[in-house]
Amino acid sequence: MLKEQYEKSLKTIDFLKNRMTIQPKVAIVLGSGLGGLTKCMEILDEIPYTEIPNFPVSTVKGHKGTLIFGRINQVDVVVLNGRFHYYEGYPMDIVTYPEMVFAGLGVKILILSNAAGGMNPTFQVGDIMLIRDHINFFGTNPLIGPNDDNLGPRFPNMSEVYSARLRKLARQKARENNIHLQEGVYLGVTGPCFETPSEYKAYFLLGADAVGMSTVPEAIVGVYRGMEVFALSVITDLGVVGQVMEATHEEVLQAANSAEPKMIQLISEMMPEL
Ligand code: HPA
């Protein structure tokens, strides 16, 4: 599977390399309702997925579907404006296709963002959570299949998926800019259902602080392809024992939008020191 995914990506990479006027070291994946980052960046080139050879197309409401080359705080970046979720029906090799492409373009740092439900009782809606580690509850893995040792190891080390260096930088920048930053473990599920009260409770007991429907597969492929990974969650609803909120997709988007300025500021402040 991986080999096929890689071979397919060569055409995409070739197309993008020919078109690129910058050589970004950083890739950013925008999560639910965080598309506002694109308004705060200098856009050099915005390409609809439909115009990129072999690139998948996204279907979910609130997700755009363009690949953007540009600058944030003077730093060259490539931005995935609309990710591919497993719950949409995409297989794992499509969900993680952009990461294969980023690696092929020479990207070294992968920044992931998402909306998540918080189980930690100290969390509030609108908080930003620095992901310290994850629990893969997808019941599958994007690296299943014959391995190509030229791409990455058969048994990748997962002891530090989320770069300690980048987490430290984020904490420092949050402090300097008075941004309240939570930190915790993200548990990734397939969705599309939000959790039952018992599921939120079970995930919290397992050691997770937040739960969401993305990020884990992308982070795994990021590590596999040798990128340094960093990820932030916006807490958009709470699954705290005894006070589970009934979230709708609209409420999730609204909460994500309200946290957006803080998230953008944090990422922007980190850029020059990446
Ligand atoms: N559960 C799963 N995914 C989510 C949630 C949630 O509560 N909120 C936003 N994405």
The Cα 260–Cα 237 span in angstroms is: 15
**Predicted confidence (pLDDT) per residue in 246-270, tens digit:** 678 888 788 888 889 999 999 999 9
Residue 58 or residue 239, greater confidence: 239
Is the pLDDT assigned to residue 64 strictly greater than 80? no
DSSP letters along 202-267, please? HHHHHT-SEEESSSHHHHHHHHHTT-EEEEEEEEEEE--TT------HHHHHHHHHHHHHHHHHHH
Average pLDDT, whole number, for the chain? Answer: 93
Q: What is the mean pLDDT of residues 186-213?
A: 97
Which is more confidently placed, 220 or 246?
220
Say if ligand 1 is within 6 A of residue 116 CB: yes
Q: Is 117 in the pocket of ligand 1 (CB under 6 A)?
A: yes
> 2-273 has which CATH code?
3.40.50.1580
- Tell me how far the alpha carbon of residue 139 lies from the centroid of ligand 1, in angstroms: 17
Residue 211 near ligand 1, beta carbon < 6 Å: yes
Question: From the CB of 239, is ligand 1 less than 6 Å away?
Answer: yes
Looking at residue 243, what is its pLDDT? 73
101 three-class SS? helix
Cβ count near 54 (within 10 Å): 16
Minimum-distance ligand 1 atom for the alpha carbon of 238: 7
Out of 211, 248, 251, 258, give the residue to mutate to test ligand 1, the one with the largest number of ligand atoms within 8 Å of its CB.
211
Q: Average pLDDT, stretch 158-169?
A: 98
Give 213 Cα–ligand 1 centroid separation in angstroms: 7
For the chain, give the percent of residues with pLDDT over 90.
Answer: 83
Tell me whether strands 228-238 and 128-136 are parallel, antiparallel or unpaired.
antiparallel
Distance 37 CA to ligand 1 centre (A): 21
Residue 114 exposure: Cα atoms within 13 Å on the Cβ side: 25
CB 210 less than 6 A from any atom of ligand 1: no
Rounded CA-CA distance 253/30 in Å is 13
Q: What is the pLDDT of residue 40?
A: 87
Mean local confidence (pLDDT), 151-167: 98
Q: How far is the CA of 110 from the centre of ligand 1 (A)?
A: 22
Please tell me the residue having the least CA distance from ligand 1 atom 10: 116
Mutation probe of ligand 1 site: the residue of 135, 203, 252 with most atoms within 8 A of C-beta: 252
Band the pLDDT of 58: cuts 50, 70, 90: low
194 lines ligand 1 (CB under 6 A): yes
Q: What is the pTM of this model?
A: 0.95
For residue 194, report the distance from its CA to the centre of ligand 1, in Å: 6
